Amino acid sequence: MNNKYKILVIEDESNIRSFVKTILDTNGYQVLTAGSLSQGILVYSSHYPDLVLLDLGLPDEDGLSFIRKIRQTDSTPILVLSARTQERDKVLALDTGANDYITKPFGTAELLARVRAALRNRHFENAQGSDAAGRYTVHDLEIDYERRLVRVKDQEVRLTQTEYNIVALLARHAGRVLTYASIIQAVWGSSDAGSIKKLQVNMANIRKKLGSRPGEKNYIINELGVGYRMQDEA
């Protein structure tokens, strides 16, 4: 019986494609590959993979059109493979409906962690990381959703309502990057010229209150130019 997760890799660079395929193969995933967007759509619609790894720069069409096409009907997680310098492309891909991105060049551990997080999110979008009592814990951080409380090392952290809303939102999507625009939309409902600044100020206060220090492991990572990500693995 074949109960492996099926992952479709759409990437035109054959060395990256075979690197990714080898890693996923050896870690128990079933891998399908495509070297162009049209081939990717063909494979997608005949195999219905559980997850798609998508390069944006494809020879026939932009990867974004794949995301648009799939999102008309499916919520299958899509991870974008993108070069470091393409912040705008990452934001655009996320706001178009990609679940996350991986920056090239990436290592084995990072690829596997992103894949696991995306597959988990697929099943537990609203309950990810939280237990029956409505709590979320990662490392020393605990969020009690029912009482709207955050604790670090069992000490209560005093957050404003807005700060709490931001932390709770990131924790609900732990392991996955949320764009600045999507956080602003979720927390304030609308955006204006000062929104990014407001978010940055709140985030600086949150990090201070959570006890983040430069060089140490942080609960919340700033993905520069893109958004914020809460860590979900030790």
Residue type, 79: L
* DSSP letters for 157-183: E---HHHHHHHHHHHHTTTSEEEHHHH
Nearest distance from residue 18's CB to Ca ion, in Å? Answer: 14
Nearer to Ca ion, 61 or 144 (CB): 61
Number of residue whose CB is nearest Ca ion: 57
Nearer to Ca ion, 12 or 89 (CB): 12
Q: The tokens of 187 are what?
A: 């927390």
Nearer to Ca ion, 25 or 61 (CB): 61
Nearer to Ca ion, 12 or 163 (CB): 12
**C-alpha distances in Å from residue 176, one per residue of 32, 39, 92, 99, 194:** 23, 27, 15, 7, 25
| DSSP β-bridge partners for residue 79 | 53, 100
Binding site for Ca ion (CB under 5 A): 12, 55, 57
Nearest distance from residue 56's CB to Ca ion, in Å? Answer: 7
Nearest distance from residue 88's CB to Ca ion, in Å? Answer: 16
CB burial readout 45-56, b (16+ within 10 A) else e:
eeeebbbbbbbb
Nearest distance from residue 16's CB to Ca ion, in Å? Answer: 8
Nearest distance from residue 99's CB to Ca ion, in Å? Answer: 19
Beta strand ranges found along the chain (DSSP E): 6-10, 30-34, 51-55, 78-83, 100-104, 135-138, 141-144, 149-152, 155-157, 177-179, 220-223, 227-230
Q: The tokens of 227 are what?
A: 């958004």
Nearer to Ca ion, 37 or 168 (CB): 37
